[in-house]
Structure 1
Amino acid sequence: MHRISIRRVYEPAAENEGRTILVDRLWPRGISHAELGNAPWLKDIAPSEDLRHWFAHDPAKWPEFRRRYTAELDANPQAVAELRRLAAQGPLVLLYAARDEQHNNAVVLRDYLGQ
């Protein structure tokens, strides 16, 4: 498997960073589809609406969010397999919109895929 990294969707892309995939449930505010080029949007891999609302980007809930989101990923083998297939083809960049760069679903997803 190739390198899997994460990047906030509002940050500029690095040269030759790899294939980008949006992994949020909601489309990022202020970003047009054209700005993301051909980056696929895999919202089915994102945390459920219930989990997203519960977490509300509260760092105090981070350990429990990680546990719950990992359980959701375990229950979603098709979406996980698709990302692993893409990662086998070359470097992969998981795009997310959250302001918190350490406590977001892309961090959990990157770590999960790296297992």
Structure 2
Amino acid sequence: MPYTIAIKRIYQAAEPEDGARVLVDRLWPRGKRRESLELTDWYRDASPSNALRRAWHQGDISDAVFAHRYRWEIEDDPDVLLPLMRWTREGTLTLLTASREPQHSHLPYLRDMLLKALETEDQEADDRTPASSPCYADQVKPADTNDDNASSETPNSRH
């Protein structure tokens, strides 16, 4: 199933085709008030750790090392991708960052991990139905534990 995950700078204006707009940065963008942004969520959990982010920005590690370590951080807690996967399944997801060059930030790596996780989940799903669809728990009626139609016979009571 094709999914649309866009990458933008938080300072760019929101557009109708953005779908869910999720800021994925550890730090809040300078000079921006939450009310001034059309955000669906600020989801820090999927952003790189502070130590990894600093090492990469300061040039202490290469892009390849960053990508590898960032993947490790995500794989360490794979449930961290679930909210982003749900937004993607509902329509377009736009990942936002304050980085000056969003295409050279952590977001392309995150998008790749998201698309791979969605593809894997779709392949593992039984009847090719996406497995992480929106939760419908509040619409499900609990099973009746007091079944009046249950037989009173026991296996040994038959002759």
TM-score scaled by length of structure 2: 0.66
- How far apart are the structure 2 equivalents of 1:38 and 1:55? 26
Question: Which residue of 2 is the match for residue 96 of structure 1?
Answer: 97
Q: Which amino acid aligns with 2:95?
A: L
Q: Which has the higher contact order (CA 8 A, sep 6+)?
A: 1
Question: Which residue of 2 is the match for residue 32 of structure 1?
Answer: 33
Question: Which residue of 2 is the match for residue 77 of structure 1?
Answer: 78
Question: Which residue of 2 is the match for residue 15 of structure 1?
Answer: 16
- How far apart are the structure 2 equivalents of 1:15 and 1:84? 20
After superposition, the Cα gap between the structure-2 partners of 1:38 and 1:11, relative to the gap in structure 1 and judged at 3 Å, is closer
- How far apart are the structure 2 equivalents of 1:77 and 1:56? 25
- How far apart are the structure 1 equivalents of 2:27 and 2:78? 21
CA RMSD of superposed structures (Å) = 1.9
TM-score scaled by length of structure 1: 0.89
Contact 1:57 1:100 in 2 (8 A): no
What is the number of residues matched between the two proteins? 115
Contact 2:7 2:103 in 1 (8 A): no
Contact 2:7 2:108 in 1 (8 A): yes
Percent of residue pairs identical:
36
Higher Cα Rg: structure 1 or 2? 2
- How far apart are the structure 2 equivalents of 1:13 and 1:37? 7
SS of the residue aligned with 2:66?
A: helix
5+ residue gaps, structure 2, are: 117-159
Please state if 1:43 is matched with 2:44. yes
Structure 1 residue 27 displacement after superposition: 0.4
